[in-house]
A and B are shown apart, each in its own frame.
Chain A
Amino acid sequence: MNGPSRIAAGLWTSADEPVDFRFDGRALRGLRGDTLASALLANGVQLVGRSFKYHRPRGIVTAGAEEPCALVDVLRPGGREPNRPATTLPLQEGLIAESQNRWPSLRFDVRSIGNLAARFLPAGFYYKTFMAPGWAWERLYEPLIRRAAGLGRLDAAASDHAAPAETVHDHTDVLIVGAGAAGLAAAYALGRAGARVMLLEQDAGFGGGTLLDRRWQAWRETQSTVLAGLGNVRCLPRSCVVGAYGHGVYAALEGLTPGESALFRGLRERLHIIRARRVLLATGAIERLIAFPGNDLPGVMLAGAALAYLRRYGVTVGQRPACFVNSDEAYQTVFEFAAAGIDCAGVIDVRPESKAADCARALGIRVHSGAQVERVEGVHSVRRVRIARLAGGVGTLEADSLLMSGGYSPATALASHLGAHHNWLESIGAFAPLLDPRIGRVAGAARGCYGLAAAALDGAAAAAAMAAELGLATGPVLPAGDLPVDPDQTPMVPLWEVRGRGKAFVDLQNDVTTEDVRLAHREGYEHVEHMKRYTTHGMATDQGRIGGLVGSAVLAQARGLPVSEVGLPKARPYVQPLPFAALAGPETGLHFKPRRRLPLHDWHEAAGARFVSIGLWLRPLVYAPESEWEGVLREARAVRQSVGITDVSSLGKIDVQGPDAARFLDYMYANRFSTLPAGRARYGLMLREDGMLLDDGTTSRLGSDHFLITTTTANSGVVLEHMEFQQQAVCPHLDVLLSDVSDQWAQFAIAGPRSREVVAAVVSGLDLSNAAFPFMAASGATLAGVAGRVFRISFSGELAFELAVPAAHAMKVWSALLAAGKAFGIAPYGLDALNTLRIEKGHVTGAELNGNTTADDLGMQRMLKTTGDYVGRMLAQRPGLRSPERLQLVGLRPIDRSQRLRNGAQLIVPDAESRSLGYITSSTPSVELEGWVGLALLAGGRARTGQRLIATSPIHGERTEVGILSPHLIDPENARVRA
């Protein structure tokens, strides 16, 4: 019998707990403790997917998160989850998984014909081949490529796996990443020293490399027992630190077991945001592939992964494996397989001699020293291994699998996130990171310190140094006598590639070959970052971890440089893929974007209002179910003819107090407030530092040292920050305090010719006659028994009042106003009607105060004071901003009154091939004039008053002749507001 099978009991599997699952429709059985990958191997399944570009058959290559090939779709009741590495997917009862990227079946894939056409699909082929003609990309190339290439599939309708997720925040003294020999020793030392420690391990069990060496079992169990008893050490398995963000902030994804998941309403993953004073990176090292022809055939696996399957799950990857190695570390696999009774087809060692090879020979294993694998043969799995001696001579080994090891590279991704410098270590043929000790330390194999005892001692030493830095007394460090001794080893010899006929892959996930790297170099992509992007080497879910350095080495060889000078591409978060659902956590829906409700929200809802979101506020748009203009015009007409009431509580309100309040406002506003008498309000313009308009609103002087500012709803936060910044940075000498009182006050506008009568019925202690309380008056008053404020200000252009009351009393006063207005047919009006009214009047809002307009553009130049300093004063006077050709605010109406206007329509000169002269910013059917009215920003607009232009909206196929007018289409003399 050939191929993989289960031959023994594993450390992590329970032989008496079978688990049934399905893969590509086949019913299979594994054991509790298996991953999907180990269960597939136990069932003899070697072929698990097709490759990204060439659709070549692929098998399982690794035993962890670095897996490039064995990605599967997991089918759950709610949908399909793509790209899960089978090597980290815990086997669960009823699991249904499917292989990816094959059609119609995994064994017979029509598109592997791409393999034959591979010479036409070199690196950069997207850029080169599919360039022209332009139309062809969308209609021809992209659909073709999308069908042929790609990894998993997403269900368009799937939403279930986005369901439960949570984010937790952790604080700790030391975050230890990785629970191998170094991480366990460090956690033990720091835990004993009294530090708060979090120990995170991405695998299901602690131990790392010690799991692969039976001599370390006792030590590992002792450490784990002691750690479990330390209250200051938290140990999290199945938790991968996916990003390091500086200032001690780290993100980790914890996978929950089915048992935990059941306790937390189906929660599968938990995102930890960890704030740590120091980090200790004990992330170990990752075994490298060797680039030889056929190194992607199912049955070719990393030697360390084969050992992991044997030790953890009792699964052998083959019955007659050959091994291709360049270091003594890899012989551990050879010895363990021999001990398990597996017959080795032979070891191919590129080195002329080594201590480990001598030991292997003593066990009766055939070692071909000074040789290398020329290629591997087979269709869907390994059949034969062709070898060549460096001194000359070839041979063939009959084998059903090939275990390769090109040495180990420290896992440097997190150190790279933290900006660590990487040193080349000749002894291991790899880069090792050097971290600023104020951030943390790197220990064990993660910094090239290989050998389990060496790593444990290194972890303990790093922990001792860190404890001292944190001001902790260093406790007992390590039971040194208990450490098994690291074997004496012959140094490794770097081996990156074996050149020959056939594809040799440096990146199995993206189908990048050694020839692709050389092609990138020939075409000028010499820098490793350019080569990465041109070839896609090192991208996607596995980040090319097992072949990253091999690609650099091939590039280095092409450039004639040592690898140390070519380097690795910069690693960025995330270390491994994580679901969007985990990133979002509970911040979905209304938790993502909260809603602010007006104090009278329930009343508006009961009155049939449709709402619109402005900023975060829900404001009534119109109190009618109709989607057309009928309801809006009815509400606006009530204001023009009698009286209406609207809720403006969402306006920003800033209370300004202090002896220097008036001086401060003079500096903040382009117009003057120090001359405003108490009991009066004034419209104000606020500029940015660059002289453009920031916001407008009325400011009332409630006392000599007391002002109340109103801002637009959407800008209230921006205005407050702007004022706070100016006050603290520029005017600290002014004695003034700012307080946001937006939520404390409800505010209503009562507008229309009958509004005085309605307000008078509610207000006591205030004479509202025109003489006593003229336009722009402001006063405290008692409103329906509630202490509040009355302002005579108008946005609608009618006689109007705004009443402010503490938010808790909003309903009482609102009800009293409705009762008082009943005789006049008072009706609430929404934001749409308010908009109609202000457009007719020529008042501006966000559409005109759009960040690109100046006071002059909006016809308010004369409001700018000519003496005294204020924010934006000088830059507002730049000659370009005073140009008569700038876009200026104008009003407009269609010549044919039956035609409509559209916001965004461009204004052009009739019949000429005119460029746009401006655009319509706001438009509405009018209640007072016939047809539509609008406001526009028009180049040299004021000088064009009286002209006829075309408003064109090509996407609607409309060309409307319009007449340019003053923006004040009704009551330009302001007689009504002063009535």
Chain B
Amino acid sequence: MGKTTLSAALAVTAARSGVRTLVVTIDPARRLATALGLKDLGSEPSPHKDEPNLWAAMLDASASWKAIAHRHAPADVADRLVDNPFFEAATQHFPASQSYASAEEMANYVETRAWDLVVIDTPPSAGGIEFFSAPAEMRDLVGGRLLRWLTGGALPGRRAIFTLTARPALRIAGAALGSDLFERVAEFLMDMRTMYDGLARRAVQMEQHFRQARTVVVTTADPAPLREAARFYRELPEMVPDPDSVVFNRVLPVTWYHPKPPTDGPLVENLARWGAEAHRQTEVRKEFAALWKTEVATVPWRPKTPTTLDDLAALIEAAAGLPLERLGVVPE
């Protein structure tokens, strides 16, 4: 879809128009990472050697979660949590856990006020929409019915104990499986529970950031990415404003389309098939714009992936309909 490339391109454009910009990416292609001056996963924000206003960082969800545990749980519990073999699995597998890590990093970066603009390339799961629901989901998971059932009411900052109904149920379930796996998981979840107050407070703050954020949805004219783009109109939590821009990537020139293309030699026939594709794209964009009552922006299809800062800036220059001022990419 080009979400990572477009995030980088917006950041480069912003930096070049004098906006101090941080771009936080996830899994960029090697050449793009090199162009941004990134080396490894978990790269801390670092200034670009050739572009004074540009900073780049890469998300490492696993490292973020370790920091999150230390931030929200008492020190001894945090150490135990991080060392627990379930911790890695749980923080990778809880629904929205990568998105939560990404949202928490976003809040941390925004709050330092070191940058005028922070561009977040959201994790791909659930088409990026999960990023906005992750804080609430994580709060509900750690403070949710299941954990309340296991441990009873919340004890701020203290580790709870099994409730009277939970222990026999765990025993029976364990017997059915033939192992004590259950009780080990339950012990672990009770440690997680101590993070509830911290997570709940943080979730509120993150949602405040969402309210003030600008959202750009990147899609192509293909059915699967379009379905995911539509979710931003159907499923976005209430506190998040509608997307500020829907960007269609890999757009072909409309001038290539001819309703009755001549068939005269391979080159003209080649234009006819690309013209048909360009026409399909146009129709899809119109339909999307009408259905969701939105303006759409377009980024032309470049046969070669942009790999330098100049390529990235050129991509935004060739784009049409991007509200660069509203996005804060260009100063008003």
Q: Do A and B come from one complex?
A: no
B-to-A contact residues, CB < 8 Å: none
